[in-house]
Amino acid sequence: MSSPSRRLQTKPVITCLKTFLISYSLIFWFTGVILLAVGVWGKVSLEAYFSLVTEQSTNAPYVLIGTGAVIVIFGLFGCFATCRGSPWMLKMYSMFLALVFLAELVAGISGFLFRHEIKTVLSTTYKDAVKHYNETGPISKAVDNIQRNLHCCGSDNYTDWGSTGYFKERGIPMSCCNDSLTCTLEALKDLSKAEKVVYHQGCVKLVTTVMESNLGIIAGISFGIAFFQVIGIFLACCLSRYITNNQYEMV
């Protein structure tokens, strides 16, 4: 059994660690809310771009939303475990933080590496989407959304539509029009006339820029939050150890 003076020295340390860990858990909870918001934003804003790159990439927003929701729950669990001062709860909390750290590190690295492959993948998939454009399919709707929102037309420029089956029947899609009032079906069926009423810039370059910048932001947020977990792991392990030692010393 240790001396009373030593136990008195240990208690302020435990109180200090509890204060820091509760503050950390609240911040951790807030990062979960941020991940939820980023995931929802990615789902709403980038779905059209993701659908043109790969089928796997469309899962990214759902992963962020799911991770954010779990972090929100365990952030509250961390506050509860700290207030209770339960060593086994604190160890469970630190284990969860370690798993989140690894998952977010892998997700951040994957997102960072994937953004450099976008240009090659997107060039191929967008040209294929233009070639098989039918106005009603999900990929075709994604093409229309991109052309309207980014003010572009075709993969490299508007003349790409001239070799498609859709152009022979309907001309260039209306989503390429720079002014709906002056954009007629007659003009859209003639490339020389269409030059005056459609966007000239191709979409591949613009979409690549948008995707690279947004994936860079998402990867940066993932890296930042991942390394933030290290602080929580350290605090939870230290607090658990001090509480366990203090209980042992009182025996």
Q: What is the pLDDT of residues 165-181, one digit of tens each?
A: 888 888 999 999 988 78
Q: What is the pLDDT of residue 146?
A: 87
Say how far apart CA 123 and CA 52 lie, in whole Å. Answer: 10
CB 149, CB 46: distance < 8 Å: no
pLDDT at 204 over 70: yes
Instruction: Name which of 65, 61, 25, 28 is nearest 46 in CA terms.
Output: 61
Q: How far apart are CA 114 and CA 116, in angstroms?
A: 5
Average pLDDT, the chain: 79
Please report which confidence band the pLDDT of residue 115 belongs to, taking 50, 70 and 90 as the band edges.
low
Q: Specify the pLDDT at position 187.
A: 87
What's the pLDDT band for 54 if we cut at 50, 70, 90?
low
Reported as a single tens digit per residue, the pLDDT across 58-95 is 466 677 788 788 888 888 888 888 888 888 888 898 89
Cα separation, 103 vs 77, whole angstroms? 19
pLDDT at 176: 92
Q: What is the dihedral of CA 228, 67, 30, 37, to 10 degrees?
A: 120
CA dihedral 87, 88, 91, 92 (to 10 degrees): -140
3-state helix, strand, coil in the chain (%, to 5): 80, 0, 15
Percent of the chain past pLDDT 90, that is, above it, reads: 5
pLDDT higher than 70, residue 119: no
Give residue 198's pLDDT band: very low, low, confident or very high (50, 70, 90).
Answer: very high
Query: Which comes out higher in pLDDT, residue 120 or 148?
Result: 148
Confidence of residue 116 (pLDDT cuts 50, 70, 90): low
Q: Which of helix, strand or coil describes residue 134?
A: coil
Question: Cα–Cα distance between 145 and 167 in angstroms, integer?
Answer: 18
User: What letter would DSSP give residue 176?
Assistant: G
Cα–Cα distance list, 204 to 23, 94, 130, 149 (Å) = 45, 44, 11, 13
Token pair, residue 13, equals 């340390």
Mean pLDDT for 4-29 is: 76
Say if pTM beats, i.e. exceeds, 0.75: no
Looking at residue 199, its pLDDT comes to 92
Distance CA 209, CA 118 (A): 9
pLDDT at 48 over 70: no
Contact 43, 61 (CB under 8 A): yes
Give residues with Cβ within 8 angstroms of 115, minimum separation 6. Answer: 211, 212, 215, 216, 219
